[in-house]
Structures are given as structure tokens and as C-alpha cells.
Structure 1
């Protein structure tokens, strides 16, 4: 995939079902050896689409999707930090790209659409996900030593923080 064939846009109603399909597929692609199979098998596209639609209505502009041929191939969602003891006022809540598109630049475009490249920001990433951690380091994030158990999967997450004006991440 040498040419940019995707478009980044704010989530619209017509893409919530495709986003739900993408979200579930990304979890199954990325976490099959990390998250228990029964958790991954329990995902329901209809319920996930309803959740994304509620989020889209409540928080317009927080979620951006990468679209190819009217299908969502990746997404990023960001907003105020959800942590009780926030390390930064803003948080990248999610960033996922379907496996055939990883390394293509889609994730770089999504992170730039979701968060100001110079803003102080935090995120949580699975401790056993070195590929994602390397991507976030390229975008100015660093581990801050904070860990927690992710409530849905019971997998350990680590927090990464980007200070203000860390830069917009250069493509490798």
C-alpha cells in the first residue's frame, strides 16, 4: 500500500456499524494471544455499534475513522482524561487499525486527527504490546511507571504520557 487510499473523517452515523466491526476485528487480530478467547468471542457487533452511536451523539468530533471504499479500517478516539489522578488533561482513549493496514501510515494520520500533536496527553496500552508502545514513543509518549488492570480483559495496562509540545511524531 504505497499510495494513500484512505480518508480520515469524524465519525458519522453511517459508519458506526462499520466502526463496530472494525473495533471487534482489531481486538481479535491484536489480542488473541493476550486476552482470553471467551472475552474476544463475546463481542457483539450490534451492541458495539449502539455504543459507538451513543458516543458519537454525546461527544461529536471525538472519534475519527479511516475509510476505504466506505468501510472503516481504523479509528482513534480522544477526549478529557478519564483517570481520577490524571497525568494529563487529555487522553487518547483508543487507536486501532486493521492488520492489513498496519505500517501504512493510517495510524499516524489517525493520531494526528484525534489529538493536537503539541498537546499534553496520556494513554493506556497493554503492557505486553511492544509494537503499540513503539508507535506511541514515535509520537512523543513515554511510560510514566503507572500500571493497572484493564477492567474488561483483566490484562495489565501501562500509562504513557506526552508532555506539551513533544512534537507530532515523525514517520519511520
Structure 2
């Protein structure tokens, strides 16, 4: 079932410790729906909700990033975004570490809302620019480009025994996200 047009019925709020399992479900489900046919099936099959939940719990508890969840009207987590200080790209102060949406909630504006709330918090923290890494075959690359992300670098990575290529997208001025 598709989410409502515009996706304004979803609530976005700061992630809490008790969200870890919901966040794990969204991230694992997103990997499995997005990367089928790109990432080896046995790798996708072995993704663990338990280990992902532990990872998200550690991120939320550490409070070293901005992490937000999107809930539907029933209170189910349907998306998330996490970002903070950049890790390794000197030209960009901030980094979008992860963004995940359940498939039924994609293409409705919720991803844009998640990125904008992250950008708003990065700007308030004095972080003016941001980048992210995405697999080049990820359909979301078109979304990042539509939001003004500029591809600036590629690299090879290995996932589940497969050699894949990632592309980095950058926003040199996060305030421009709010004039679109």
C-alpha cells in the first residue's frame, strides 16, 4: 500500500533509545528492497535485525550525530536519517551517514523532509556543507541530484564479496536546500 501523496501525515522527531528495533527494521528492509540484484543475495539474507538494532542504539546513546525517525499515523517507524560531522572529506564539514525509507514511503516527499531536518540541525551546529556516499547503482542517486547534490568522487568498495562502486555527492551550501 502506498503512503499518501505528499507524506505530510508522517511525524519526524529525534530518535530515542526505544526506536532502535524500528530503525533496524527500516534499515534492513531498505537494504533488501534497494540492493536486490546489486548486492549479493546471501549478504542481504544474512542482515541481522539484532545487530542493526544494537548499532542504532549505540548511535542514539552516543549523541554524537543528529538522528531522526519518521513515524506513520500508527506510530510505526517508516524512515530515518542520521548525520553529523564529516568523516574524511575535507571539502565538506558534515556528512549524511544514513537515510532509509520503507519502500511504500518513497517518492512522496518524506526523504526530502528528512534531509532538510538534518540540514537544519547541521546549520544550527555551524556545519555549512555536507556529503554522502551511495552505491552508484542505487536509484536514490537521482533523488540526491534532484536535491542539488553534486557528484564529486567515486571509489571501489567490497560488500558480500562483490566489488561495487560508490559515488560521493556533496552540497557545498546547505542553506540552498531551503530555496528549492
TM-score (norm 1): 0.88
> Once superposed, what is the RMSD of the aligned Cα atoms?
2.0
Q: Distance in 2 between matches of 1:169 and 1:42?
A: 39
Which runs of structure 2 are paired with 1:2-151 in the superposition (5 Å)?
A: 2=5, 4-59=8-63, 62-68=66-72, 69-83=74-88, 85-116=89-120, 119-129=128-138, 131-144=139-152, 146-151=153-158
Q: Distance in 2 between matches of 1:29 and 1:142?
A: 25
Q: 1:49 to 1:87 in 2, by over 3 A?
A: same
Q: Distance in 2 between matches of 1:55 and 1:110?
A: 17
Q: Distance in 1 between matches of 2:9 and 2:175?
A: 29
> Unaligned stretches of 5+ in structure 1?
none
> Unaligned stretches of 5+ in structure 2?
none
Q: What is the CA-CA distance between 1:170 and the residue it aligns to?
A: 6.8
What number of residue pairs does the alignment pair up? 168
Q: Runs of at least 4 residues of structure 1 off by over 3 A?
A: 150-154
Q: State whether structure 2 residue 165 is matched by structure 1 residue 161.
A: no
TM-score (norm 2): 0.85
SS at match of 1:111: helix
Q: What is the CA-CA distance between 1:87 and the residue it aligns to?
A: 3.0
